């Protein structure tokens, strides 16, 4: 069997819309939740936020998907029945009966982990795995024949180095720092490796089948360092938007990604209303009320 170029771990709550079942768990407890899942195990679940991305990746080939859940095997039949209903080629699963999932992600060789559980996302990031917290599903439907993925820059593709300068010292100091270091590549952020893997997959399946975009709040003169960084990585993005602090959601609605990754809650909240969105939790966030550029 040919080795996959990309391995994706997706939690059941990211793959399917399990909000009703989750509400029962929170309001009525584990016993009521288990009874509900078993009673409805033949009822097909509606797609969740991560569903369009997973389906498109599987269509491309060279991708392996592992469904993960804190359910036990007995309450997971509804998930497997829904996978079969939609014809998703997912054969592997990690079911932990309430135990944290991240310790098992490396065993499966996961490159990207999508979950609705923030503690699992944070632990996966600490393990060096690209991971993001899925927002509730949007009604937007992307029927594009190509896979489309959009990324924020600082603290997502790139390290938080420059972001910290902005938060501590303001926009003028940030721009001066980026101008002085324009030709010094930024360090890797948590999703840098994923972008490289996507570039390899793009080369294997054909560039016209995958389209990537950088959607960043940076503007001139801070754009130059980004361009030199991508050159140093030998990676290209198909589209780049340097918005200078403008809202991102209108550009994202035009680009129509299957998923958008950002670290900023405000941008994610707005984007999640128009496109599938996932937040990359910051490891250490400055609590200053200063608005992000």
The residues annotated with a catalytic role in the active site are 152
Q: How far apart are CA 13 and CA 195, in angstroms?
A: 24
Q: How far apart are CA 148 and CA 212, in angstroms?
A: 6
Angle at 194 between CA 192 and CA 198, to 5 degrees: 120
**The pair of three-digit structure tokens given for residue 105, joined into one six-digit string:** 């992600």
For 208-251, strand residue ranges (E) read 210-216, 239-242
- Exposed, middle or buried: residue 86 (CB in 10 Å: 0-12, 13-18, 19+)? middle
Task: Identify the CA nearest to 3 among candidates 64, 88, 65.
Answer: 64
CB distance 280 to 125 below 8 Å: yes
């Amino acid at each position: 069997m040919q080795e996959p170029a990309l391995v994706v771990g997706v939690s059941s709550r990211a793959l399917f819309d399990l909000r009703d079942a989750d509400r029962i768990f929170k309001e009525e407890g584990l016993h009521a939740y288990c009874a509900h899942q078993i009673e409805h195990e033949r009822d097909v679940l509606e797609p969740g936020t991560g569903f369009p991305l997973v389906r498109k990746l599987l269509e491309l080939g060279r991708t392996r998907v592992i469904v993960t859940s804190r359910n036990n095997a007995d309450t997971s039949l509804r998930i497997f029945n829904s996978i079969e209903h939609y014809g998703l080629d997912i054969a592997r699963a990690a079911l932990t009966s309430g135990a944290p999932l991240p310790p098992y992600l490396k065993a499966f060789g996961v490159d990207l982990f999508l979950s609705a559980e923030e503690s699992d996302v944070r632990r996966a990031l600490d393990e060096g795995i690209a991971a993001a917290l899925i927002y509730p599903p949007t009604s937007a439907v992307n029927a594009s024949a190509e896979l489309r993925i959009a990324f924020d820059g600082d603290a997502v593709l790139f390290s938080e180095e420059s972001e910290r300068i902005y938060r501590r010292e303001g926009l003028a100091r940030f721009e001066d720092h980026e101008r002085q270091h324009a030709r010094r590549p930024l360090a890797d952020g948590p999703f840098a490796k994923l972008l490289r893997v996507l570039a390899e997959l793009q080369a294997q399946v054909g560039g016209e089948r995958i389209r990537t975009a950088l959607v960043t709040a940076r503007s001139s003169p801070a754009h130059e360092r980004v361009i030199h960084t991508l050159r140093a990585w030998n990676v290209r993005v198909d589209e780049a938007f340097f918005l200078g602090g403008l809202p991102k959601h209108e550009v994202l609605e035009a680009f129509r990604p299957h998923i958008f990754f950002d670290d900023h809650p405000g941008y994610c909240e707005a984007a999640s209303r128009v496109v599938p969105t996932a937040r990359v939790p910051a490891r250490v966030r400055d609590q200053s009320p200063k608005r992000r550029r």
